[in-house]
């Protein structure tokens, strides 16, 4: 198999592994009574440095502001997110993830790792796992350098 075909195969398997892990994450989130959208909103809120407005979130997810507002209300009911006044302009309302929300995102990610990735890696030899990690690290570094 030439390098072009190997490149396509590697990209395919990475994408498919990512899809499997992502889908399993949604299933675990459902066990914690989160919808697909609620889970994604929490992950987003957990990652952003500056708390976003409803408008920011609406643009990010490509959904109407009233739809996002309703989803945030559901997260507030579960005490996973809050609306807070902007520190500099009180006319602006921002959305933050609560500590409970942060904890839940962390729990779901840990469970996804333990119940999906870990279980799959357990079926491999130690040397296969070590080689996989080593080679994925090299691939990541090369991709990051623009390679």
What's the predicted TM-score (pTM) here? 0.83
| CA distances to 9, 15, 87, 119, 125 from 137, in Å | 18, 16, 41, 20, 18
CATH code of the domain containing 130:
1.10.10.10
Measured CA distances, 11 to 4, 17, 55 (Å): 11, 10, 35
Closest CA to 46 of 94, 98, 109: 98
Domain range for 79: 3-144
Tell me how far apart the alpha carbons of residues 13 and 90 are, in angstroms, rounded to a whole number: 48
What digits encode the pLDDT tens for the residues 89-133?
A: 888 999 999 999 999 999 999 999 999 999 999 999 999 999 999
Structural domain tally of the chain?
1
Determine the pLDDT at residue 147. Answer: 52
């Amino acid at each position: 198999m030439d390098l072009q075909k190997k490149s396509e195969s590697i990209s395919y398997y990475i994408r498919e592994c990512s899809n499997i892990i992502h889908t399993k994450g949604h299933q675990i989130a459902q066990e914690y009574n989160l919808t697909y959208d609620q889970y994604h909103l929490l992950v987003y809120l957990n990652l952003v440095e500056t708390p976003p407005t409803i408008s920011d979130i609406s643009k990010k997810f490509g959904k109407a502001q009233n739809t996002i507002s309703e989803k945030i209300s559901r997260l507030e009911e579960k005490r996973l997110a809050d609306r807070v006044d902007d520190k500099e302009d009180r006319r602006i309302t921002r959305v933050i993830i609560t500590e409970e929300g942060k904890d839940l995102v962390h729990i779901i990610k840990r469970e996804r790792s333990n119940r999906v990735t870990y279980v799959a890696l357990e079926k491999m030899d130690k040397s296969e796992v070590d080689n996989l990690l080593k080679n994925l690290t090299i691939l990541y570094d090369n991709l990051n350098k623009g390679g």
